[in-house]
Amino acid sequence: MANHIISNSMGALRVRIKRGIDLAIRDVRSSDPYIIVVLGQQKLKTRTMMNSLFPVWNEDLTLCVTNPDEPLKLYVYDYDRFSSDDRMGEAEVDMRPFIKAVKSNLEGIEDGTVLTQVQPSRLNCIAEDSSIIFGDGEVTQNMFLRLRNVECGEIELELKWIDLPSSRAV
C-alpha cells in the first residue's frame, strides 16, 4: 500500500508540530497531550508530552499528498494509562491554497516572497493570518490552529512541501 501511495503522490508534506498553547485540562490539574495527524488514509502520531498544557513537540511528520482536496486533520488527545484517552479537540486545514502555491510557477521568485495569505474564517481553524512563503527554494506555511469541540487550545504547526523525484517530471 505504501508504494501505491508514493506512486500516486503529488509530493510529500512535512508537518512540523511545533507546540500546543493553553490546551484543555483533562486530568486533575494538567493533561498528557499527543496529536494524531490524518491525511487521507495516512495516520501518524506525535509522542506524548506528560503534564503539560503548553507542550513543545517540534516533531516532524511526513505524509504523501495524493489528493489536493483532502484536508489535513489533527486530533488532540490526553493519554490515560488506565482508561480510554480523552479528546482534547481537533482542527482541520484546507490544503488547496498551499498546494496551489506549491504548483504555481516559482521560477525567478525571490526568497521571502509571500505567495498567498490565508485569512481566518468560520470555515477554517486558522486563528490568525497565515502566510505561504517561498524561501531557500522551499514553500512553507506557519499557522496557529484553534481547536474545535473543546473549551480552549491552539496548535502551532508548519507545513513544508517536499518534491518527490517522480513528481518533478510532469
3-state secondary structure the chain: CHHHHHHCCCEEEEEEEEEEECCCCCCCCCCCEEEEEEECCEEEECCCCCCCCCCEEEEEEEEEECCCCCCEEEEEEECCCCCCCEEEEEEEECCHHHHHHHHCCCCCCCCCEEEEEECCCCCCCECCCEEEEEECCEEEEEEEEECECCCCCEEEEEEEEECCHHHHCC
pLDDT for 122: 80
According to the model, what pLDDT value does residue 163 have? Answer: 84
Q: What pLDDT band is residue 7 in, cutting at 50, 70 and 90?
A: low
The pTM for the full model equals: 0.90
| pLDDT average, residue stretch 40-47 | 97
Taking only the tens place, the pLDDT of each residue in 104-156 is 988 889 999 999 999 998 878 999 999 999 999 899 999 999 999 999 999 99
Q: Which CATH architecture has domain 2-162?
A: Sandwich (2.60)
State what percent of residues in the chain have pLDDT above 90.
82
Reported as a pLDDT band with limits 50, 70 and 90, residue 66 is: very high
- Domain locations in the chain as residue ranges: 2-162
